[in-house]
């Protein structure tokens, strides 16, 4: 008959001291305290499962008390009675926890950022990560991405709204959506809950299409355009958009017959203009260079920027914006129309160009002191100088020329 083992007491467990070799203090039912030479006190349980001797680990004292260790022994015995190996259950739980830890929002967000960072200019990539680190990770970063819901993300966005950084909230919403879609594509989320938040945030009330108007923010955008890896036709359109700052519809519908290379002018007929008045766009040396490089590719077409499916149609109205998104700039940062606001602001506040020259080049309804609308050639000489000045200024930004912030200029 096996010798009966007296159960341990709390005092025995507390006072157990290390010896020259590891030793055990038995509690009965297979449970014992393993005292190591380094002073560790580890709860273990020996058991047999399908004629194999095994050992289960229940944690360390004092984090796991004597009574808690006994409860874990009883739980293990119930599993054994039902022909379930408690060791395998523990492994499954650890594996599940490990999978959850590997699939948290922050882990996947950083993986997404690392995978696509090379497609963005370095400063833009850094800003994206910093927005997440400051506004998102502290709140939902440690949670498994599969468990997150639309209200969870909305709570994060609302915190930013309450801090009066609504523009940042819109950018974060866009980035969170991209992260969830990446998680879905890689099999770690079922759907993108951010899609349910469309319209949940109030729009940014700036009165203009989104655009960077601080010179330091314009430079990385221009460099990203020059490094664009998509269609060459779209790249040329992206390069001309800031140089010419016409409306997106006017740019994509440009025809080769309207371009006068000798006079360095683009003559847009009245039928294509919003105000139904013919418009003249002086072409800087930089703009002419883009057109010269593009003509061998699309010169056989009616359009400067033909549709890739059919040269009989002009480029899609979404092509420029899609190009901007591909580079990592969301619609809260820049749109094709936003290049007009960018030019208007910087030409006025930094380059000190007369506002009426700028407005006329924007094809706005500018009138002279007598109330008459200017014709298409009004102030043409001055506007040619302005367009070349603007192109040279943008080149300076791209190459890292020292710029004066608008806030400082206005001070």
Nearest to 112 by CA among 192, 168, 170: 192
Contact between residue 242 and residue 215 where contact means Cβ atoms under 8 Å apart: no
Active-site residue 158, yes or no? no
Of 337, 344, 360, 383, catalytic: 337
Contact between residue 94 and residue 101 where contact means Cβ atoms under 8 Å apart: no
Nearest to 66 by CA among 36, 38, 29: 29
Of 110, 131, 295, 374, catalytic: 374
Contact between residue 31 and residue 51 where contact means Cβ atoms under 8 Å apart: no
Q: Cα–Cα distance between 310 and 296 in angstroms, integer?
A: 17
The values of phi and psi at residue 361, to 5°, are -70, -25
Active-site residue 374, yes or no? yes
Residue 402's alpha-carbon distances to 215, 220, 268, 399, in angstroms, are 10, 14, 35, 9
Active-site residue 78, yes or no? no
Long-range contacts, 212-217 (Cβ 8 Å, 24+): 212/333, 212/334, 212/338, 212/342, 213/341, 213/342, 213/345, 213/346, 213/406, 214/405, 214/406, 214/407, 215/346, 215/350, 215/397, 215/403, 215/404, 215/405, 215/406, 216/403, 216/405
Contact between residue 190 and residue 184 where contact means Cβ atoms under 8 Å apart: yes
Active-site residue 247, yes or no? yes
Of 170, 247, 344, 383, catalytic: 247
Of 340, 344, 360, 383, catalytic: 340
- Report the length, in residues, of the chain: 411
Residue 254's alpha-carbon distances to 226, 271, 298, 379, in angstroms, are 21, 12, 12, 23
Tokens representing 224 are 């990203």
Contacts for 127 with CB less than 8 Å, ≥ 6 apart = none
Q: What is the DSSP pairing of strand 52-60 with strand 41-49?
A: antiparallel
Of 274, 302, 308, 354, catalytic: 274
Tokens representing 178 are 């991209």
Active-site residue 54, yes or no? no
Is 391 in a helix, a strand, or coil?
Answer: helix
Residues with catalytic function: 247, 274, 337, 340, 364, 374
């Amino acid at each position: 008959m096996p010798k009966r083992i007296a159960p341990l007491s709390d005092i025995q467990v507390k006072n157990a001291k290390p010896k020259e070799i590891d030793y055990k203090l038995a509690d009965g039912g297979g449970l014992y305290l393993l005292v190591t030479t380094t002073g560790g006190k580890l709860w273990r349980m020996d058991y047999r499962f399908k004629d194999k001797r095994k050992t289960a680990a229940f944690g360390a004292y004092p984090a796991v008390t004597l009574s808690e260790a006994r409860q874990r022994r009883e739980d293990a015995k119930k599993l054994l009675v039902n022909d379930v190996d408690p060791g395998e259950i523990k492994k499954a739980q650890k594996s599940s926890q490990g999978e959850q830890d590997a699939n948290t929002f922050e882990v996947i967000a950083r993986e997404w950022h690392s995978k696509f960072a090379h497609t963005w200019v370095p400063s833009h990539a850094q800003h994206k990560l910093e927005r997440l680190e400051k506004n998102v990770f502290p709140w939902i970063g440690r949670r498994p991405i599969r468990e997150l819901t639309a209200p969870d993300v909305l709570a994060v966005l609302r915190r930013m709204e309450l801090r009066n950084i609504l523009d940042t909230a819109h950018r974060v919403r866009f980035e969170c959506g991209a992260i969830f879609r990446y998680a879905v594509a890689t099999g770690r989320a079922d759907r993108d809950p951010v899609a349910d938040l469309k319209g949940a945030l109030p729009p940014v009330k700036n009165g203009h299409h989104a655009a960077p108007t601080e010179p330091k923010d314009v430079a990385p955008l221009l460099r990203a355009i020059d490094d664009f890896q998509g269609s060459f036709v779209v790249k040329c359109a992206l390069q001309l958009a800031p140089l010419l700052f016409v409306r997106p519809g006017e740019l994509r519908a440009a025809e080769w017959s309207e371009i006068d290379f000798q006079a360095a002018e683009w003559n847009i007929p009245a039928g294509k203009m919003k105000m139904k008045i013919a418009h003249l766009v002086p072409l800087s040396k930089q703009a002419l260079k883009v057109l010269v490089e593009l003509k061998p590719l699309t010169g056989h077409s009616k359009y400067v920027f033909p549709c890739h499916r059919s040269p009989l149609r002009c480029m899609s109205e979404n092509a420029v914006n899609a190009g901007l998104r591909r580079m990592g700039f969301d619609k809260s940062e820049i749109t094709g129309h936003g290049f007009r606001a960018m030019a208007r602001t910087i030409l006025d506040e930094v380059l000190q160009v007369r506002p009426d020259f700028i407005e006329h080049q924007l094809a706005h309804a500018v009138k002279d002191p007598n109330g008459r609308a200017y014709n298409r050639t009004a102030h043409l000489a001055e506007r040619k100088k302005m367009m070349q000045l603007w192109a040279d200024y943008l080149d300076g930004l791209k190459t890292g020329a020292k710029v004066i912030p608008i806030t400082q200029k206005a001070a």
